[in-house]
C-alpha cells in the first residue's frame, strides 16, 4: 500500500515531515493560534513553574478530550426533561488510564476531572542516561484492564523506546493495541515511525510533532525534561 507523506503544519524541517506516514492512526491537534500560544509559554526556558503547569494542563485537557473521542461509542437513548427521546451515545466499554511514570502522572488529574471514577494504572520506565535505553522498574495495572479501553498517558515520545516497552506491558496484560489511545504532548518523527512499525493499529494523539532528536535524544526544538519542569524538580537555567 502506498502512503503519502504526513505533512506537519509549522514544522521547519521537511526531512522530519517525511519520517512519518499518514496511516489514519496519528491525530495531530489543529495547529491553531491558541495552541501555538500555549506551546510558546511551555517551551520558554524562563517561564515560571505556575505558568508552565497551568498552560500544560490546558493542552493536556485538549489531548484527553480528543483521545476519548476516538474510542468506539454505542447508541444510548435518554428521555429529556420535556419527555422526548434524545438518541444519545456512550462509550462502548469501560475506560482506564495508564500513566508512564513520572511524566505521565501530569495527565492523571485532568483525566479524573473528565471521569472521576476512572481506574488508573502505572508503569515506571526510566531511560539509562548513558545508553539511552529504557528499563522497566515497576507496573501496577487494574486486574480487568483487558476489558477496558486504555488511555496510555506518555507526554514525551522521543526515540519511542519507553512507549514501546509500555505497550509491551499492556499486551502481556491482555490489552488489544487497537483498544489503546496514546495521549502525547510532544513527539518526534523517528519515535512515531518506530511505534507505527510495531503497532500499526495503535491510535496516537499529539499536540506537536517535532523536527527531530539531538545527540542526547532530546527533541528539537523541544521542551526539555517535561516531568522535571511540571513537578518543579528541574535545575533552573541561569
- Report the candidate in 137, 148, 164, 166 with the shortest Cα–Cα distance to residue 111: 148
Tell me whether residue 127 is one of the annotated catalytic residues.
yes
Rounded (10°) CA dihedral 61, 97, 95, 166: 120
> What phi, psi does 225 have (nearest 5°)?
-85, 105
Count other Cβ atoms within 10 Å, centred on residue 76: 12
Tell me whether residue 128 is one of the annotated catalytic residues.
no
First-to-last alpha carbon distance for the chain, in angstroms, is 51
Choice among 131, 216, 235, 238 that is catalytic: 131
Q: Helix crossing, 161-172 with 189-198: angle to 10°?
A: 30
Choice among 58, 61, 127, 171 that is catalytic: 127
Choice among 43, 115, 171, 225 that is catalytic: 225
Choice among 44, 51, 128, 228 that is catalytic: 228
Tell me whether residue 229 is one of the annotated catalytic residues.
no
Tell me whether residue 225 is one of the annotated catalytic residues.
yes
Residues annotated catalytic, as ranges: 127, 131, 225, 228
Amino acid at each position: 500500500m502506498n502512503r503519502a507523506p504526513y505533512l506537519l503544519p509549522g514544522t521547519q524541517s521537511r526531512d522530519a515531515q517525511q519520517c512519518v506516514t499518514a496511516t489514519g492512526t496519528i491525530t495531530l491537534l489543529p495547529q491553531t493560534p491558541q495552541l501555538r500560544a500555549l506551546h510558546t509559554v511551555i517551551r520558554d526556558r524562563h517561564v515560571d513553574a505556575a505558568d508552565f503547569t497551568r498552560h500544560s494542563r490546558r493542552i493536556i485537557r485538549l489531548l484527553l478530550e480528543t483521545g476519548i473521542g476516538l474510542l468506539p461509542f454505542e447508541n444510548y437513548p435518554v428521555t429529556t426533561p420535556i419527555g422526548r427521546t434524545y438518541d444519545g451515545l456512550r462509550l462502548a466499554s469501560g475506560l482506564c488510564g495508564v500513566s508512564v511514570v513520572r511524566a505521565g502522572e501530569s495527565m492523571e488529574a485532568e483525566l479524573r476531572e473528565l471521569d472521576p471514577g476512572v481506574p488508573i494504572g502505572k508503569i515506571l520506565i526510566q531511560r539509562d542516561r548513558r545508553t539511552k535505553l529504557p528499563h522497566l522498574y515497576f507496573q501496577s495495572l487494574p486486574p480487568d484492564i483487558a476489558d477496558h479501553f486504555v488511555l496510555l498517558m506518555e507526554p514525551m515520545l522521543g526515540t519511542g523506546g519507553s512507549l514501546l516497552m509500555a505497550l509491551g506491558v499492556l499486551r502481556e496484560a491482555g490489552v488489544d493495541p487497537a483498544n489503546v489511545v496514546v495521549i502525547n504532548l510532544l513527539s518526534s518523527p523517528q519515535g512515531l515511525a518506530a511505534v507505527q512499525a510495531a503497532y500499526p493499529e495503535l491510535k496516537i494523539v499529539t499536540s506537536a510533532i517535532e523536527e527531530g532528536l539531538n545527540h542526547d535524544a532530546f527533541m528539537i526544538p523541544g521542551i526539555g525534561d517535561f516531568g522535571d519542569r511540571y513537578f518543579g524538580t528541574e535545575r533552573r537555567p541561569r
